[in-house]
Structure 1
Amino acid sequence: MTRGVHLVGSVPLGDAEEVFRAVAASVGRHVRRVPDGETGARANWTFWQGDVFARTPGLVTDDVGRGEYSPTPKYRLAGDPSALRFGSLGYAAAALSSWVVFRRLRAAGVLPDLRFQVSLPTPMAPIRLHVDPRDQAAVEPAYETALLRELELITDAIPAGELSIQWDTAVEFGMLEGVFPSWVPDLREGILDRLTRLGDAVPSDVELGYHLCYGDSAHKQFVEPKDTSHLVAVANAVAARLSRPLGWIHLPVPLSRTDAAYFEPLRTLALPAATELYLGLIHATDGAAGAADRITAALSAVDNFGVATECGFGRRQPAAVPALLALHAAVADL
């Protein structure tokens, strides 16, 4: 049985062209969409947004608030939050630059008939990373407005039938697990409202997906989930609330979880029939054999899914990418 492959987003090669060529050569027949790898400054997820906060009028910093998952200065409001306006965040500029490369390589036959995937963080991620906790609730709406403006620029420029948008959702699970403090009064409803709003902002003829994540700092999650229950609850609720089609959901699988208990909540997963499910069960540490064990365990609860890594490749060395892509192809054919 051939399983589809999903690439979460980051692939630490030299540039978008190198990523597209590497993906096409290794897993081109297994994927339905391909990201540009989030190369260069974007490699470490939302850390590069620190420059955006630094140049935004109305925000100041005293360089405090650093920690394991927040090794950056924290910004706070210097005035009225209603006057706060973010300029360009850089996501649209990066996507449109990569789109030119994607289109050229596809026309040349290097890329098969795939969609171009743009992965965007939910606003909660950069807000938690870069904003003082006292002002996170006040700053978030302005940043969300700016991010949705970036989305609009992307969807206006790239044909809908050739584009996929993925919302990367990680900080939310740190909050649901009680690891990260939250500025949202009704946390579960607040998260679901945000994820639904972001999904419905994507035009209905553009493919939409969510990457649900538990982090990958130093290749470790901020907490290992007891099972897939939080993931399934969020996936089910978002799928039910969206007013547009849902293309895929990606869920992480920790390295150690080859037991059926981790996957048991997947029995209650209620995705639309056309929605693809991808399980992030590929780990470089134990290769195809370990992935096979996790596939066997997953099959106790769900019988139709593709494969992926838990998170993007961004924190790996470029030299590790070819073997990791080849591992995807090998696992897809298990």
Structure 2
Amino acid sequence: MGAHLVGSINFDDAETTMRTAAEHLGDRLKRIPDGEVGERFHWIVFQADRLGQADGIERVGDTPIPLRMLDMRQVRLADGVRAEDLDLPPLGYADAALDSWAVFARLKREGVVPAGTRFQVSLPTPLGVVGSFVRAEDRAEFEPVYERALAAELDRILTEIPHDEVAIQWDAALEFAMLEGQTSFTGQPYEWFDDVWAGTAERLARQIDRVPADVEVGVHLCYGDVAEKHFVEPRDAEHLTRFANLVVERARRDLTWLHLPVPIERDDDAYFEPLERLAIPAETELYLGLVHREDGAEGAERRIAAARRHVSRTFGVATECGFGRAPEGTTVPLFEAHRAVTASW
């Protein structure tokens, strides 16, 4: 099945990302992303700044929380403002995707990107942005407003890019903070709804179903990657398996691919055993994020061997999360590790 690139890659521009991916992994990839360059460098952090530009929205706290020219402070509804009356500014995802699509299409015409490769657009779930950057008291009211705004970004992308050339990936990370019982830095729960398992699964299934049937759609499940650390270490793949099964059960359309993370230290049977209960269709591609820069192909081979004792179906490989914030100079070695472990596949 080959390799999958989760999304963020530590180059400064989309063209370098695409050229390098095509050069080192072009025959192993079905899709190539743009590396989430520019303001998307730190995943969804830039959304707080975007939302903060809207009339009727205020930043929480008097002191900015800086991160590479971005302000990580949460937002709140101003006094007397209803979320349904907000006019949100462009969220930035469609503009970025269309700019990168122009580069991708040109590289394809030039023969740099293989002819059958799709352009991959990675989007956060609305839950991830609302749960991270909206004040707890306003999340329930604000969620449908943000969800509509992100759906409009998706619609614009799919209007401008041919459906047989594009693939959409939904990134689900904060969902696992909720499922693992984590709380925010204020000590409050992230979720604003009852039944965390049903609530998170139904919300992700709804995003999957927004993607038309003639467009590929995938899901990246994640335990976080702030400073290359998880917000909680998964005990095993049980919650990943349970959540994936719930999402697939609730989605009306087929899922093209599913990506699951594998922590670097887990090459033991206990971690992979729950994957025996993974109930996704045979047609859905499975990618295990078991390639890590610290131990390269050698470590990936150990984790592949453990996975194969419990996963009877074919699977491809990936990193555990994106690697847009990995140290400079690690990208090509990571690509080559992907290539080495898939050499005989």
* The two structures share one fold, judged by TM-score above 0.5: yes
| Inter-CA distance 310–66: structure 2 relative to 1 (3 Å threshold) | farther
Query: Is structure 2 residue 185 aligned with structure 1 residue 187?
Result: no
Indicate the residue corresponding to 2:125 in structure 1: 122
Shift of 1:189: 1.1
Shift of 1:270: 1.1
Q: Does the residue aligned with 2:225 lie in a helix, a strand or coil?
A: coil
- Please point out which of 60, 63, 67 is paired with 2:61: 63
Looking at structure 2, the residues matched to 175 and 168 of structure 1 have their Cα atoms a distance apart, in angstroms, of 15
Which runs of structure 2 are paired with 1:98-247 in the superposition (5 Å)?
Answer: 98-112=100-114, 113-180=116-183, 181=189, 182-247=191-256
Indicate the residue corresponding to 1:248 in structure 2: 257
Looking at structure 2, the residues matched to 209 and 190 of structure 1 have their Cα atoms a distance apart, in angstroms, of 19
Looking at structure 2, the residues matched to 281 and 43 of structure 1 have their Cα atoms a distance apart, in angstroms, of 22
Indicate the residue corresponding to 1:94 in structure 2: 96
Shift of 1:71: 7.6
Query: Is structure 2 residue 340 aligned with structure 1 residue 320?
Result: no
Deviates more, 1:202-211 or 1:319-328: 319-328
How many residues align? The count is 332
Shift of 1:87: 2.2
Does the Cα contact within 8 Å between 2:74 and 2:133 map onto a contact in 1? yes
Q: Does the residue aligned with 1:319 lie in a helix, a strand or coil?
A: coil
Looking at structure 2, the residues matched to 60 and 48 of structure 1 have their Cα atoms a distance apart, in angstroms, of 15
Shift of 1:62: 3.6
Shift of 1:66: 8.9
Does the Cα contact within 8 Å between 2:48 and 2:75 map onto a contact in 1? no
Indicate the residue corresponding to 1:37 in structure 2: 35
Deviates more, 1:240-249 or 1:89-98: 240-249
Indicate the residue corresponding to 1:75 in structure 2: 75
Looking at structure 2, the residues matched to 62 and 46 of structure 1 have their Cα atoms a distance apart, in angstroms, of 17
In structure 1, stretches of 5+ residues that fail to align are none
Shift of 1:99: 0.6
Shift of 1:297: 0.7
Q: Give TM-score scaled by structure 2 length.
A: 0.92
Does the Cα contact within 8 Å between 2:11 and 2:324 map onto a contact in 1? no
Looking at structure 2, the residues matched to 90 and 258 of structure 1 have their Cα atoms a distance apart, in angstroms, of 39
Does the Cα contact within 8 Å between 1:288 and 1:327 map onto a contact in 2? yes
Looking at structure 2, the residues matched to 107 and 41 of structure 1 have their Cα atoms a distance apart, in angstroms, of 28
| Inter-CA distance 135–64: structure 2 relative to 1 (3 Å threshold) | farther
Deviates more, 1:207-216 or 1:120-129: 120-129
- Considering only aligned residues, what root-mean-square deviation do their CA atoms show, in Å? 1.9
Shift of 1:51: 1.9
Q: Which letter does structure 2 place at the counterpart of 1:35?
A: P
Looking at structure 2, the residues matched to 6 and 159 of structure 1 have their Cα atoms a distance apart, in angstroms, of 21
Indicate the residue corresponding to 2:291 in structure 1: 282
Does the Cα contact within 8 Å between 2:130 and 2:143 map onto a contact in 1? yes
Identity of matched residues, %: 50
Does the Cα contact within 8 Å between 1:199 and 1:242 map onto a contact in 2? yes
Structure 1 stretches of 4+ moved >4 Å: 64-67
Indicate the residue corresponding to 1:272 in structure 2: 281
Q: Give TM-score scaled by structure 1 length.
A: 0.95
Does the Cα contact within 8 Å between 2:272 and 2:310 map onto a contact in 1? yes
Does the Cα contact within 8 Å between 1:281 and 1:309 map onto a contact in 2? yes
Shift of 1:64: 6.4
Looking at structure 2, the residues matched to 62 and 223 of structure 1 have their Cα atoms a distance apart, in angstroms, of 26
Indicate the residue corresponding to 1:330 in structure 2: 340
Q: Which letter does structure 1 place at the counterpart of 2:47?
A: Q
1:140-182 deviation digits (Å, cap 9, x = unpaired): 1111110000000011111111110000000001100011322
Does the Cα contact within 8 Å between 2:121 and 2:168 map onto a contact in 1? yes
Which runs of structure 2 are paired with 1:292-331 in the superposition (5 Å)?
Answer: 292-303=301-312, 304-331=314-341
